[in-house]
């Protein structure tokens, strides 16, 4: 960016073709813009990859929790599975 700015300044002070110097400055600015856009796209792709991996990890954790809940639910006696507070069934099974 600084180089393009200096080229523009030099073109204004020189007696050469100002159009050529301006064209060169525009070319350098366009090149810089292209590099910046490539960097932005790379960062965006990296962020999307990070989010995908985080979501995959979260899904794995949720599946693990769900499996644990199912195992625990299987260990609860059938009479206590439909727990109703203060009901005779809850008192009967000792819940």
pLDDT of residue 66: 94
Closest alpha carbon to 1 in 9, 16, 38, 44: 9
> How far is residue 55's CA from residue 40's CA, in Å, rounded to a whole number?
22
Q: Please report which helix (H) or strand (E) contains residue 43, including its range.
A: helix 18-75
If you compute the radius of gyration of the chain from its CA atoms, what whole number of angstroms results?
A: 34
On whether the pTM is more than 0.75, the answer is no
10-69 pLDDT, tens per residue? 655 655 677 888 888 899 999 999 999 999 999 999 999 999 999 999 999 999 999 999
Q: Structural domain boundaries of the chain? A: 2-93
pLDDT over 80 at 89, yes or no: no
The pLDDT of 71-94, averaged and rounded, is 68
Q: Are 80 and 93 in contact (CB under 8 A)?
A: yes
Residue 83 CA, chain-centre distance (Å), reads: 42
pLDDT of residue 65: 96
């Amino acid at each position: 960016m600084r180089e393009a700015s200096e080229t523009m300044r030099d073109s204004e002070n020189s007696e050469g073709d100002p159009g050529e110097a301006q064209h060169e400055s525009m070319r350098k600015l366009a090149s810089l813009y292209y590099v910046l856009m490539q960097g932005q796209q790379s960062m965006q792709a990296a962020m999307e990859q990070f989010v995908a991996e985080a979501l995959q990890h979260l899904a794995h954790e949720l599946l693990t929790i769900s499996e644990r809940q199912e195992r625990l639910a299987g260990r609860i006696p059938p009479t206590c599975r439909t727990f109703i507070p203060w009901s005779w069934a809850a008192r009967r099974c000792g819940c």
